[in-house]
C-alpha cells in the first residue's frame, strides 16, 4: 500500500503525461490545503494550556447604562401649582388658592423656572370682574384660576395641580421627608409653627408645611413666603433627582405620593413623561422668582398691585423659551434675610 506523504502524492500526480499544468495546480492546491490544515491544527496545540495573550484582551465589564424617556419637544411646558386654603372637611377646590406658582419646564434645555404669584394680586378674573387672584378658585375652581393667570400673562397653561394642607403633609411624609437647605432662621410659633435654624435639614410633613406657611416672620410677608414655597419645590425636585439616580424605582414612590395628595388634570401618561423628564432637569440653573408688586388698598381691602412692566417682561421671556433672562429676574423678596439679590 502506498503512503500518502506529500512527496508520494506529488510523484503520483506528475505521472500523468496528459495535463501536466493542471496536475501541478492540483498538487499545489493539495499541498496548500494540507499545510493550512496542519498549521491551523498545530496552532491550536498551545491553547490546551492557558495563554493570556492568545485571545483578545480580556476586559471585565464594569459599566452603567440607562435610558430615560424624557419629553423632547422644544416648547416649554407650563403647569400651575396651587395650594388650597381648605381646612379638613372643606371642599378642596372651592377654597382660596393661597399658594400660586407657575412652573415652566423646557424639555430641550432642561431648564426649570418657578414663578410665584402673590395671592393678593388684584387682577381681572374672567366673568367675575376684578378681585384678588386667590379668589378665582372660589369662583370657578382651579380651571378659573388657570384662565385668570393665562389672561394675566398671555401664557397658555398646559396643566394644573392642586394640593391642600393635609395632602401636602402626607405627600412629604410619603416620600420620607424633604431635605431643605433652610436659608435663614425662622421663628413663628403663634401662626405657622415654623421654628428653624438655617442649614440643610430633613423636614417631615408638619415641618415642611410650617416652613411653607410662615409669613409673619418674614419682612416681605406673602412675597417671601411665596419664594420659600418655591424653594420647597426646587428642593423636592433635587431630592427626587438624587433618589432616582440612586434607585430609579423611587419614581413610582414619588408619583404615588404626589397623586394620592394632589388633584390634577395631567393625564397619567403625560404625568409619567413629566416625571421622567424632571429627572433630567438642570436644577443648578433653576429659577425661583416671585412677581414683584406693591401693597395697596381697594375699597378698604389690602391688595397687591403687580408691577405691570415686570409681569410683561417675565411673561414674554417664559413664553419664549420658559426661562427668564437675567435682566428681567426680579429681586428676591427674602434678600434682606439672605443677603442675596
Partner 1 sequence: MVAVGVPPRYPSGALTEGSQPPKTPPAVAANRSQRNARRRRTTPLLLAIPLLLVASAVGLFLFTRGGEASIPIPFIGSEPEPVPPFDFPAPQVGIEATSEKTDVESLRATAEEAAAGAVPVIDQLYTEGFLDPNNWKDGEYDEVWELFDTSALPSAESSVETLTLGVGAGDVYQSVQPEKGKMKVRVLFDENGEVVSMVALVSFEAFAAGKDGTYTNVVSEGQFFLRDTGDGWKIYSFDAKRLDSEAAPPKPAPSASVSASTSP
Cα(278)–Cα(255) distance, integer angstroms: 12
First to last CA, the chain: 105
Cβ at position 237, least distance to partner 1 in Å: 19
Q: Strand (E) positions, 111-207?
A: 111-116, 122-124, 130-132, 159-163, 178-182, 186-188, 194-196, 199-203
Cβ at position 48, least distance to partner 1 in Å: 5
Q: Which residue has the cell 395650594?
A: 83
Cβ at position 133, least distance to partner 1 in Å: 28
Cα(236)–Cα(163) distance, integer angstroms: 15
Cα(188)–Cα(213) distance, integer angstroms: 10
Residue with Cβ nearer partner 1 (30 or 283): 30
Residue with Cβ nearer partner 1 (51 or 284): 51
Compute the residue count for the chain: 341
**Binding residues vs partner 1 (CB under 8 A):** 4-6, 9, 12-13, 16, 18, 23, 26, 30, 33-34, 37-38, 40-41, 43-45, 47-52, 54-56, 58, 60-69, 170, 247-249, 251-253, 255-256, 259-261, 268, 272, 276
Residue with Cβ nearer partner 1 (37 or 312): 37
Cβ at position 318, least distance to partner 1 in Å: 28
Cβ at position 167, least distance to partner 1 in Å: 8
Which residues neighbour 82 within 8 Å (Cβ) at sequence distance 6 or greater? 97, 99, 100, 101, 137, 142, 145, 160, 161, 162, 163
Residue with Cβ nearer partner 1 (72 or 341): 72
Residue with Cβ nearer partner 1 (81 or 323): 81
Amino acid at each position: 500500500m502506498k503512503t500518502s506523504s506529500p512527496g508520494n502524492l506529488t510523484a503520483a500526480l506528475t505521472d500523468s503525461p496528459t495535463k501536466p499544468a493542471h496536475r501541478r495546480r492540483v498538487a499545489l492546491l493539495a499541498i496548500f490545503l494540507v499545510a493550512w490544515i496542519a498549521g491551523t491544527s498545530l496552532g491550536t496545540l498551545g491553547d490546551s494550556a492557558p495563554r493570556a495573550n492568545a485571545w483578545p484582551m480580556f476586559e471585565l465589564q464594569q459599566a452603567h447604562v440607562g435610558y430615560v424617556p424624557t419629553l423632547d419637544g422644544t416648547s416649554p411646558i407650563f403647569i400651575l401649582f396651587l395650594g388650597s386654603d381648605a381646612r379638613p372637611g372643606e371642599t378642596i377646590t372651592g377654597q382660596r388658592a393661597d399658594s400660586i406658582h407657575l412652573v415652566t419646564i423646557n424639555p430641550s434645555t432642561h431648564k426649570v423656572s418657578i414663578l410665584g404669584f402673590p395671592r393678593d394680586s388684584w387682577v381681572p378674573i374672567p366673568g367675575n370682574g376684578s378681585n384678588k387672584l386667590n379668589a378665582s378658585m372660589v369662583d370657578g375652581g382651579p380651571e378659573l384660576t388657570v384662565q385668570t393667570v393665562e389672561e394675566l400673562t398671555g401664557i397658555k397653561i398646559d396643566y394644573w395641580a392642586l394640593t391642600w394642607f393635609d395632602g401636602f403633609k402626607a405627600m412629604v411624609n410619603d416620600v420620607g421627608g424633604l431635605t431643605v437647605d433652610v436659608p435663614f432662621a425662622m421663628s413663628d410659633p403663634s401662626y405657622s409653627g415654623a421654628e428653624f435654624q438655617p442649614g440643610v435639614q430633613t423636614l417631615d410633613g408638619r415641618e415642611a408645611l410650617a416652613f411653607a406657611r410662615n409669613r409673619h416672620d418674614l419682612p416681605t410677608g406673602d412675597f417671601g413666603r411665596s419664594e420659600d414655597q418655591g424653594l420647597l419645590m426646587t428642593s423636592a425636585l433635587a431630592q427626587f433627582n438624587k433618589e432616582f439616580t440612586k434607585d430609579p424605582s423611587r419614581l413610582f414612590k414619588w408619583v404615588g405620593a404626589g397623586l394620592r395628595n394632589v388633584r390634577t388634570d395631567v393625564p397619567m401618561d403625560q404625568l409619567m413623561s413629566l416625571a421622567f423628564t424632571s429627572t433630567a432637569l438642570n436644577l443648578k440653573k433653576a429659577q425661583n422668582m416671585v412677581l414683584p408688586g406693591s401693597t395697596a388698598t381697594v375699597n378698604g381691602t389690602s391688595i397687591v398691585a403687580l408691577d405691570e412692566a415686570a409681569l410683561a417682561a417675565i411673561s414674554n421671556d417664559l413664553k419664549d423659551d420658559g426661562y427668564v433672562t437675567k435682566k428681567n429676574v426680579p429681586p428676591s423678596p427674602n434678600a434682606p434675610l439672605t443677603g442675596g439679590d
